[in-house]
Structure 1
Amino acid sequence: MSENTADLHPLDDATRLAPGPDGLLAGRTTPAYWNMASPFGGVTAGLLMRAVLDNPERIGTPVSQTVNYCAPIAQGDFTVAVRVVRSGRSVQHFYAEIAQNGTITTNATIICAVRSQTWRHQPATMPDAAPAESLPAMPAGAPVPFIGRYEFRFLEGEPRFGPPLAEPRSPHSLFWIADRPARTLDFVSLAAFCDIFFPRVFQVRGHPVPAGTVSMTSYFHASQAEIDAQGDRPLLARADALRFGDQFCDQFGELWSDAGTLLASTSQIGWFRQ
């Protein structure tokens, strides 16, 4: 992990893996995507996605990913283990885990498939949204470093970091999102974007509280051609939630191409304390 990384995009540096001992992969955290006490959950999802994408046994492209965040990843080195659980002619199941100092911090199941042309129908409709370039970007300076690695342009539900509101507000947000600096979309960055939504408990309270993702499942609806067609242009992101209480809350989101194609949808359960 000592090679020159000056020419790597920060996301590619943060998800870089090298051969390790006993068939494992070796990785290391980077400050660019640091969150409050651990790396941003999206970059962890992207790293596990990369571990599968780089696996020589892989067939097809990602269809779904479930990531369970078991313990914080501390700054420093970690290892990644990947194995094929079951492989058919067109659908393949992977298991992957991150370990650090003898503790499994994160585990994931990732399903890949060889897609074939079939009948298509998209009943979901892209939200109405002004073009990304017509909206101001949220300032890069932020309480945690990873926020500066993304360009947020809000249409609805801009985050608020003031004192708690007397009454809850809507958990809904709508915004354009892009890597900063710009980066061509792939399944690694799409996996990371699936966790780009600020915790909805922050949104309804208008104030950050101790919170974290417990488990996140993402579905990748896009074909490789649809991913490639997006280039480095912003995605439209929509988030909402259903219920908060007894220390846990849900949230769900959608990620749209600027051409109106639903690329991914995601849902998660998280904890909070207040």
Structure 2
Amino acid sequence: MADFIPLSQLLAARTRDGDAVRFEVSEDWLQGRTSFGGLISTLAVQAMRDVAGAGWPADVQLRALQTSFIGPVAQGPVQVAVRVLREGRNVRQVQAHVQQGGETAALLLGVFGSERETTLPGLAPAMPAAGRGPDDTPALPFIPGIAPNFMQHLDMRWAEGGLPFTGTDTWHSRIHLRTKGEPQPLPLELLTVLLADAPPTPALSRFKRPVPASSVSWELELRPVAHELPADGWWRIDTEALAAAGGYVNQVSKLWSPSGDLAALGYQVVTVYA
């Protein structure tokens, strides 16, 4: 099995050349013939921060991220070219072009914004109860050759819904999750992006045999987390397939922080090859 390279180590080894940032993707972050989509988006956000965000005020946060997955990102070097599209008083829009071997692999648009003065009252939804807590749910062993490589970096425990390829009659899942093997806490912004793309589509639970699936597009809306978070705390992501036809699944997810804050909303189009 490939060496285990924590995300923090992968990020620390990045290099910058003008408006581009280069990363080296290791085999343990693959998902089939491509890299884990959450990793690709996380690298792109880091590149946006490196190139565009150096002089931004501290309160500028990633508010939205739109990702189109265009081609595979294999093991090896990958380049993220960054371009600032607009920099307003409160909102900054930044494009990231992910390339490997001269081919476009992904295009992303990040929307970064600082807080505004407002008379609008706050609205903070409460995290609904799950069927089981993380301590009541056994950890899934990582089995090389069966589970995607990147899964060795995550501890995921199903509270509701069926595991992939178990023939379960369901269109939703609630999953407790956290990272494994990180020597130091990841920045909250990057951790949110990474975890928000971690769960498989609930549609895979309906099959009784392994079938491939991949994300085509992903829109993520991030929310400010109000509470301090424990480094090893359990996050939870709730995913619901809203519609499915012609091999495509439209789904929505909600990522909750260990303190119960709504950290992100995700909307995704997933292809299922079966």
Q: TM-score, normalised by structure 1?
A: 0.86
Please identify runs of 4+ aligned residues in structure 1 that moved more than 6 A.
none
2:127 equivalent in structure 1? 126
Deviation of 1:201 (Å): 2.5
Which of residues 217, 220, 227 in structure 2 aligns to 1:218?
220
Compared with structure 1, are the counterparts of its residues 207 and 125 closer, same or farther at alpha carbon in structure 2 (3 Å cutoff)?
farther
Q: CA deviation at 1:258?
A: 2.7
Q: Is the 8 A contact 1:230 1:257 kept in 2?
A: no
Report the AA paired with residue 133 of structure 1. D
Q: Which residue of 2 aligns with 1:139?
A: 141
Name the counterpart of 2:158.
154
Match for residue 87 of structure 2?
87
Distance in 2 (CA, whole Å) between partners of 1:160 and 1:24 is 37
Note if 1:257 corresponds to 2:257.
yes
Asked if 1:98 corresponds to 2:102, the answer is: no
Q: 1:15 to 1:203 in 2, by over 3 A?
A: farther
Distance 2:49 2:229 in 1: 19
**How many angstroms does 1:234 deviate by?**
1.2
Alpha-carbon distance in 2 for matches of 1:151, 1:237: 13
Structure 2-normalised TM-score? 0.86
Count of residue pairs brought into register by the alignment: 260
Question: Displacement, 1:99?
Answer: 0.9
Quick one: structure 1 residues 173 and 206, their matched pair in 2 at CA, closer, same or farther if it must change by over 3 Å? farther
Matched, 1:18 2:15: yes
Question: In terms of mean alpha carbon deviation, does 53-62 or 95-104 score higher?
Answer: 53-62
For residues 184-203 of structure 1, the aligned pairs below 5 Å read 184-185=185-186, 186-203=188-205
Counterparts of 1:191 and 1:134 in 2: how far apart (Å)? Answer: 26
**CA deviation after TM superposition for structure 1 residue 252, in Å:** 1.5
Mark the runs of 5 or more structure 2 residues left unpaired by the alignment. none
Provide the C-alpha distance between the structure 2 equivalents of 1:41 and 1:57, rounded to a whole number of angstroms. 28
- How many angstroms does 1:15 deviate by? 4.0
Give the structure 2 partner of residue 78 of structure 1.
Answer: 78
- Contact preservation (8 Å) 1:197, 1:253: no
Aligned partner of 1:29 in structure 2 is: 25
**Following the alignment from structure 1 to structure 2, what is the Cα–Cα distance between the partners of residues 252 and 207?**
24
Q: Which amino acid aligns with 1:46?
A: T
| C-alpha RMSD over aligned residues | 2.3
Q: Percent identity?
A: 22
Separation of aligned partners in 2, 1:87 and 1:151: 38
- The one-letter code matched in structure 2 to 1:156 is E
Answer yes or no: is 1:208 the counterpart of 2:216: no
Structure 1 residues 49, 201: closer, same or farther in 2, change over 3 A? same
What is the DSSP-based 3-state SS (H/G/I as helix, E as strand, rest coil) of the residue aligned with 1:42? helix
2:229, 2:164 → 1: CA distance?
34
Give the SS at the match of 2:83: strand
- Secondary structure of the 1:92 match is strand
Asked if 1 retains the 8 angstrom alpha-carbon contact of 2:29 and 2:39, the reply is: yes
Residue in 2 aligned with 1:52? 48
Aligned position for 1:3: none
Deviation larger for 202-211 or 82-91 = 202-211
Q: Residue by residue, what CA displacement relative to the aligned partner does 1:155-183 show, whole Å, maximum 9, x if unpaired?
A: 11141435xx4xx7112111210001255
1:133 offset after TM fit, Å?
3.0
Taking the aligned partners of 1:34 and 1:107, their CA distance within structure 2 comes to 19
